[in-house]
Amino acid sequence: MKCAIILAGGKGTRMKADCPKVMCNVLFKPMISYVVDAVKEAGAEDICVITGYKHNEVEDYLASVDTNIKTALQEPQLGTGHAVMQADEFIAAHTEDEILILNGDGPLMDAETINKAYDYHKENNNSITLISAIVDDLNGIGHIKRDENGTLLRIVEHKDASPEEKLINESNAGCYWFNGADLQYALSKITNENVQNEYYLTDSLEILIGAGKNAGAYVVENNEVILGANDRVQLNGLNTIMRKNINNKLMVNGVDIPCTDGVMIGKDVKIGNSTVILPNTIIIGSTIIGESCVIGPNTYIDNSEIGDNVVLDNCKILDSAVENDVDAGPFVKVRANSELKKGVHIGNFVEVKNSVVGEGSKSAHLTYIGDSDVGSGVNFGCGTVTCNYDGKNKSRCKIGDGAFIGCNTNLIAPVEVGDKAYIAAGSTITDDIPENALSIARAKQVNKEGWVEIKKPYKE
Ligand code: UD1
Ligand code: CA
């Protein structure tokens, strides 16, 4: 059985964040979420996360995504080896298993790399298999020291390294497969005799080799997977790589992104064939978009379901459902819990909130549809407002099929407009309107002939 320990105890001082480092976002999701997904995808059946700095934040987040994930608290934080020691019960339960240990702040590590390292680990009957990479930037890395035959010796942390060791360009990725029992043994031998007085997990390599065990290093094919972030500049770098990877994958699958400028699409988003994504469009959460849509420019979609042939031009769509053939924008906001049924047209400066807008209904401009159940084939005149809030309570409006709402109508909720009812422009509707009725709710027009000449209200 495969299981995993994720290290997430560190503060990440250089990030200058008020959250734990692993909770810093890449493409609007905490870094640790990618690590959890990768280890699950790689087949880890039991997961333990080591928490420390602001552990509640990490624990609450993990509980919100998967209640089966275990945690172990590390306080104070005395190094990566000390972190793993806190999972002693977890390790004791998995002495017969293979345990993956990896950093919670490396969101680009993927299941494919983890599994290739696992295969290598099993084929060679290793006690420990490191993942390593040949890198250009040697600063701060754990250098992997081999003898003249290339046999692994140990890992030397940059701060402890001699000038010659500092030149070794094979870097420890901070991702390892251990045999459970051998991990338990190695942890019992790790000390803090080094420059930082920390318990280094990396010492377990030398300890296990010394005990006559097999050890190996799996060198990654693509260096990107080992990248982490220590500050916001590096975090931006991770965003750039993740964004590129996701966009490329979508394009390969038939999504059209003619210009990727400002296009940020989350990892869990699904987009259908021949849909076009235009610049400055952010699509996140568990959004699903159908085929042949045009999304953007300047559109933000979070956690929504969008059908086929939908046009969203300069829209903000949150936690809502948009059916086939809807055409919305520019400058449209659809707030949580809304449904735009098939063929709805929503034009400039229209806001919809917590409402259902029925099939083929149209609201071309300057309208607020809040807490409303709108039937099919309804026409909203310019400037219609559903007055859903009286300062204390929110109430709903119901508008029947085929109703015509004249321009500048106020519907004072709760109120019901019958099917095919017709409201005169400028009406303030406080009472229900029966079906097929005309409702006029405004003062009658009075023209006073010659009044201007008599009163002379203008300056000469
Ligand atoms: C570690 C490795 C180094 C490797 C590098 C790759 C050690 C001693 N060094 O160094 O060889 O090249 O990762 O990124 O392991 N953490 C805890 N508790 C602690 C300390 C750290 O949970 O007491 C967690 C951090 O939150 C982080 C991970 O462990 O997720 C790695 O810690 P970090 O301090 O970044 O290790 P590096 O110095 O980068
Ligand atoms: Ca690090």
What is the arithmetic mean of pLDDT over 308-316? 98
The alpha carbon of 331 and the centre of ligand 1 are apart by a number of angstroms equal to: 46
DSSP letter at 444? P
CB 32 within 8 A of CB 58: yes
Which residue's CA is the nearest one to ligand 1's atom 31? 103
Q: Taking the chain, what is the end-to-end CA distance rounded to the nearest angstrom?
A: 95
Is there an atom of ligand 1 within 6 Å of 61 CB? no
The Cα 244–Cα 394 span in angstroms is 44
pLDDT tens-digit profile of 123-152?
A: 999 999 999 999 999 999 999 999 999 999
**Nearest 5 degrees, angle CA 39-CA 45-CA 50?**
60
The Cα 284–Cα 299 span in angstroms is 11
**Element housing 217 (H / E):** strand 215-219
Task: Name the pLDDT band for 218 (thresholds 50, 70, 90).
Answer: very high
pLDDT of residue 17: 93
pLDDT of residue 261: 98
The ligand that comes nearest to the alpha carbon of residue 133 is 1
pLDDT of residue 340: 99
Atom of ligand 1 nearest to the CA of 173: 6
Is there an atom of ligand 1 within 6 Å of 78 CB? yes
Query: Could you give the count of Cα atoms lying within 13 Å of 195 in the half-sphere of its Cβ?
Result: 7
Hey, what's the torsion of the CAs at 119, 124, 128, 133, to 10 degrees? -60
DSSP assignment string, 412-437: ESSEEE-TT-EE-TT-EE-S-B-TT-
Q: Alpha helices, DSSP H only, in 177-231?
A: 180-189, 203-210
Closest CA to 168 of 176, 180, 157, 179: 157
Query: Is residue 460 scored above 90 in pLDDT?
Result: no
Q: pTM for this structure?
A: 0.93
Query: Is residue 33 scored above 90 in pLDDT?
Result: yes
Count of beta carbons in the 10 Å neighbourhood of residue 447: 5
Over pLDDT 70: what percentage of the chain? 100
| Radius of gyration for the alpha carbons in the chain, expressed in angstroms and rounded | 31
Pocket test for ligand 1, best of 39, 103, 176 (most atoms within 8 A of CB): 103
Closest CA to 104 of 137, 136, 74: 74
The Cα 263–Cα 252 span in angstroms is 16
CB neighbours of 145 closer than 8 A, spacing ≥ 6? 152, 153, 154, 155, 156, 165, 168
Closest CA to 58 of 16, 108, 9, 110: 9
pLDDT tens-digit profile of 223-240?
A: 999 999 999 999 999 999
Task: Name the pLDDT band for 79 (thresholds 50, 70, 90).
Answer: very high
pLDDT tens-digit profile of 85-102?
A: 999 999 999 999 999 999
What is the arithmetic mean of pLDDT over 351-372? 98
CB 377 within 8 A of CB 362: no
Task: Name the pLDDT band for 176 (thresholds 50, 70, 90).
Answer: very high
Q: Alpha helices, DSSP H only, in 93-162?
A: 111-123
pLDDT tens-digit profile of 414-439?
A: 999 999 999 999 999 999 999 999 99
CB 94 within 8 A of CB 180: yes
Per-chain mean pLDDT for the chain: 97
The ligand that comes nearest to the alpha carbon of residue 52 is 1
Cα 314 from chain centre? 21
Which residue's CA is the nearest one to ligand 1's atom 5? 174
CB 114 within 8 A of CB 100: yes
What is the phi/psi pair of residue 96, to 5°?
-90, -5
Query: Is residue 63 scored above 90 in pLDDT?
Result: yes
Is there an atom of ligand 1 within 6 Å of 201 CB? yes
Q: Please confirm, yes or no, whether 365 is among the known catalytic residues.
A: yes
What is the phi/psi pair of residue 145, to 5°?
-95, 125
Task: Name the pLDDT band for 25 (thresholds 50, 70, 90).
Answer: very high
